[in-house]
Amino acid sequence: MTTLSTLQETAREILADGKGILAADESTGTITKRLEAVGVESTEENRRRFRDLLFTTKDVEQRLGGVILYDETVRQDALDGTGMVETLRRRGIVPGIKVDAGAKDLAGFPGEKVTEGLDGLRERFAEYAALGLRFAKWRSVISVSEALPTPTAIEVNAHAQARYAALAQEAGLVPIVEPESIMDGDHGIDRSAEVTEQVLAATVEHLRRQRVALEGVLVKTNMVVSGYAGADQAGPDEVADRTVEVLRRTIPAAVPGIVFLSGGQDDAQANANLDAIARRGPQPWTISFSYARALQGRPMAVWAGAEENVAAAQDAFATRLRLTGAANRGDWSSEAERAAS
């Protein structure tokens, strides 16, 4: 039987020494769009080749403590015949798994979503634990506007997050709870902060109600930024101040770590904001990153499906990790970012 101390040890291992998490858990539909955008057919083999490229990059374990996988990848072998999960484990990287079934329309509430996937989750967790996975992720999607989200959308998604988290801990996996407030739209940073605070507060309340051990949970959330279509865009210092303020109001010190998603930000924006947050000094929780596109976008474009481009794509991935790791320490340089792009 897994103890709380085991969950805590896993959480600490993932975020040790300033390391972060690679979100390589895109659904088949999502990665298909990204591959096709760089001229690559989205076959199972091409998806395997790209993820192998990432996982076998030299020294990747120096900046990655965990990788979130998709179910397809868990069952694949790397190009050398070693299982993908074992490939990560041999490098000292903790393997995790996305378990939700995606955000679907919330009946009766136009424009809002609820994440599905609880049915059969206990059995899936038992299988994933047997396959060597040690943490999991569940993402909920919260629309932001002057009218949204409704209290109902916040409530149903917080409830689902907590049910998932309780089942993950029961199976011995650390749950990453990811309630993402989507920053599309022209709203200002005040509205972003208001909604993010409401969403995180509700999520924590439901975790408590459903007896989830906060000491064995990681939180993945959005930074508090201006709506991407807004005319008035907050700079990194304001983003950092508002983000830390919201987190201190909502996330108990018992939670061992908070990791940020990059969302709709470009690579430089995501790292500039992460750097500013890191420079706000020590927090009650470990702060780090869990990026997808901000780490993978450039390597995918360089690779473009060609074997002769693998080494260059791995160099691009190593550069993205180096810059993001520097941002996570508060040592990021905009000049270095521009030189790498």
**Three-class SS string for 216-272?**
HCEEEECCCCCCCCCCCCCCHHHHHHHHHHHHHHHCCCCCCEEEECCCCCCHHHHHH
Domain boundaries, the chain: 4-340
**Residue 328 confidence (pLDDT) above 70:** yes
- pLDDT at residue number 126: 98
Tell me 59's DSSP state.
Answer: T
- Categorize the per-residue pLDDT at 339 as very low, low, confident or very high, splitting at 50, 70 and 90: confident
Residue 1: pLDDT above 80?
no
CA distance 56 to 90: 11
Say what the pLDDT of residue 245 is: 98
User: Among 43-57, 72-86, 323-337, which is the least confidently predicted range?
Assistant: 323-337
Residue 106: closest CA among 76, 141, 144: 141
Place of tokens 């096709």: 36
Q: What pLDDT is recorded for position 336? A: 82
Q: Residue 276: pLDDT above 90? A: yes
Alpha helices in 186-250 (DSSP H): 189-209, 236-250
The DSSP-derived string for 278-302 is HTT---SSEEEEEESHHHHHHHHHH
Query: Which residues are registered as beta bridge partners of 220?
Result: 259
Give residue 115's pLDDT: 98
Q: Per this entry, what is the length of the chain? A: 341
| Residue tagged active-site, from 98, 113, 137, 220 | 220
Question: What is this structure's pTM?
Answer: 0.96
Does pLDDT of 108 surpass 90? yes
pLDDT mean over 170-191: 96
Give dist(CA 79, CA 60) in Å, integer. Answer: 17
Instruction: Quote the pLDDT of residue 337.
Output: 85
Task: Respond yes or no: is residue 19 known to be catalytic.
Answer: no
Kindly tell me if the per-residue pLDDT of 189 is higher than 70.
yes
Q: Which amino acid is at 6?
A: T
Contact 260, 251 (CB under 8 A): no
Q: Give pLDDT, residue 188.
A: 94
The yes-or-no verdict on residue 264 having pLDDT over 90 is no
Kindly indicate whether the domain formed by 4-340 is annotated with CATH number 3.20.20.70: yes
pLDDT of residue 152: 98
Mean pLDDT of the chain: 96
Query: Is the CB of residue 106 less than 8 Å from the CB of residue 63?
Result: no
Contacts of 267 (CB under 8 A, 6+ apart): 294, 297, 298, 320, 323, 337, 341
% of the chain exceeding 90 in pLDDT: 93
pLDDT in tens, 202-240: 999 999 999 999 999 999 999 999 998 888 999 999 999
The letter for the amino acid at 48 is: R
Q: For residues 171-177, give the mean pLDDT.
A: 98
pLDDT at 335: 79
Mean pLDDT value across residues 237-257: 98
